[in-house]
C-alpha cells in the first residue's frame, strides 16, 4: 500500500439529471477504498467543449488516496459504468465523465493514463473549479487563456 497522496478528479455530466449525477459521483468518490474526499468545488454549468449535446454540469474533487494511479483510474471507470456511461464516439454526450487530472506531483505517460491530464489547461470547466479548491494548481495566465469559454457557477443546493 502506498502512502496517501492528493489527487484531483474532474467530474462532468450532460445527460439525465446531471446535477444529481455529479453530486452522487462526489459521494461515490468518498467511498473508494483507502480514499476520502477532502474538498469538492461548486457545481458549474458549461457549454460543451469540443463536444455536442446539452450543457454540462462540472466540478472538481480533491481526494486523499492510498490507491495507485492505475487503481484509481480503474475505480473511476467503474463509477462511470455504474452511471450508464457509454462511449459511442469521441466526446459524445455522457451520463458521467470522471477524469484523473492530477495525482500528487507525478507525471504519468502510459497507454491508458496520462497525468497531468493532457487537455486540462485548455478547459475552463476544469481550471475554474480546480482554482476554487486548489488555487496553487492554477495560474492567473491559465485562467485568462480560457476566459472566453462560457462557465457559470450553479447555486448551492
Q: Strands, DSSP E only, in 4-52?
A: 5-13, 35-40, 44-46
Out of 23, 85, 90, 121, the active site residue is 85
Contact 9, 76 (CB under 8 A): yes
Q: What is the largest CA-CA distance in the chain?
A: 43
Out of 23, 28, 45, 97, the active site residue is 97
Grid coordinates belonging to 81:
459504468
Out of 23, 45, 99, 123, the active site residue is 99
Out of 90, 94, 106, 107, the active site residue is 94
Annotated catalytic residue 94 = yes
List Cβ neighbours of 116 (8 Å cut-off, separation of 6 or more).
Answer: 101, 102, 107
Annotated catalytic residue 99 = yes
Grid coordinates belonging to 97:
465523465
Contact 127, 135 (CB under 8 A): no
The catalytic residue positions are 85, 94, 97, 99
Amino acid at each position: 500500500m502506498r502512502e496517501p497522496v492528493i489527487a484531483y478528479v474532474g467530474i462532468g455530466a450532460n445527460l439525465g439529471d446531471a446535477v444529481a449525477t455529479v453530486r452522487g459521483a462526489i459521494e461515490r468518490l468518498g467511498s473508494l477504498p483507502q480514499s476520502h474526499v477532502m474538498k469538492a468545488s461548486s457545481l458549474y454549468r458549461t457549454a460543451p467543449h469540443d463536444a455536442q449535446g446539452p450543457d454540462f454540469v462540472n466540478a472538481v474533487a480533491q481526494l486523499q488516496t492510498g490507491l495507485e494511479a492505475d487503481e484509481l483510474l480503474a475505480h473511476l471507470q467503474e463509477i462511470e459504468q455504474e452511471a450508464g456511461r457509454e462511449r459511442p464516439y469521441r466526446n459524445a454526450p455522457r451520463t458521467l465523465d470522471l477524469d484523473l487530472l492530477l495525482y500528487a506531483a507525478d507525471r504519468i505517460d502510459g497507454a491508458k493514463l496520462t497525468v497531468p491530464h493532457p487537455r486540462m489547461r485548455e478547459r475552463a470547466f476544469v481550471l475554474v473549479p480546480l482554482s476554487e479548491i486548489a488555487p496553487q494548481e492554477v495560474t492567473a495566465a491559465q485562467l485568462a487563456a480560457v476566459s472566453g469559454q462560457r462557465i457559470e457557477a450553479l447555486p448551492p443546493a
